[in-house]
Amino acid sequence: MSNTLYSQVARSLADGISSGRYPVGSLLPTELALCELHGASRPTIRAALAELQSMGLVSRRKRVGTRVEAASTSTGYSQSLASLEDLTQMAAHQARMVQKTETVVADAVLSQEIGCAAGSRWVRMDMLRLGVDEDVQRPIGVSRVYVAAAYADIPKLLKKSPRALISTLIENHYGRRIAEVEQTVQAIAMPPELEIPLHAPAGSPALKIVRRYLDHANDLVEATITVHPGDRLVSKSRLKRQHS
């Protein structure tokens, strides 16, 4: 960041986010409150918030406010997911490097892991996931993404829109609407084959996240298998009691 006033405000807010004063998933103070807090004009505050948004630390929505989406710290990357929209917002702030693409036929192991029919055909994309700093020496994870073979153009579309959620590309270009995402999180030991791409020791703590993207008929449209080093991702959620 430069030394302009809005950059100073942005740096102060970023420090507040990384320290936990403004936790992931919380809302920052209103623009008027930030004006008073920092002794700055509203345009300056808006420029500072735009700076944070470009860094992937916050999102801004009308009638909602400025929400903290991620904390870029020495311990890794934090995320808060409560809806498909949150997942889209997260994808917009994560750089992805597609390393390999191929068409595969699901065997019994893959069928069980992602819940697809054995013998079905899928386009598989292996990609490196980077944090807001886009440091390839410290990626936040690797993903193996599967989309139905009917969507063979997805790799090309992803190349044109590298920060788009793949399910969004499927919806926009094929008209297949995603109704639900089923997510499973599992603690595992870092697989030896991921030691080099993730720069993390084999056998060290890791998180494995499997997401299944389902349409309204509960049919599988896309599946992702992502492995994160244990010190580079914190996932938060908020549970609310349903009142009868």
pLDDT the model gives residue 4: 75
The pTM of this model reads 0.64
Instruction: Tell me the average pLDDT across 168-183.
Output: 89
Contacts of 40 (CB under 8 A, 6+ apart): 5, 6, 9, 34, 48
Walk me through the domains of the chain, giving residue ranges and CATH numbers: 5-68 (1.10.10.10), 80-236 (3.40.1410.10)
CB 120 within 8 A of CB 138: no
pLDDT the model gives residue 120: 97
pLDDT tens column, 66-125: 998 876 544 454 454 455 555 544 555 567 889 999 999 999 999 999 999 999 999 999
Beta bridge partners of 182: 212
Structure tokens at 124: 């598989």
Report the 10 Å Cβ neighbour count for 159: 10
Provide the CB-side half-sphere exposure for 37 (13 A, CA). 13
For the chain, give the percent of residues with pLDDT over 70: 82
Structure tokens at 48: 């500072």
pLDDT tens column, 123-134: 999 999 886 666
Better pLDDT: 40 or 54: 40
CA distance 79 to 114: 23
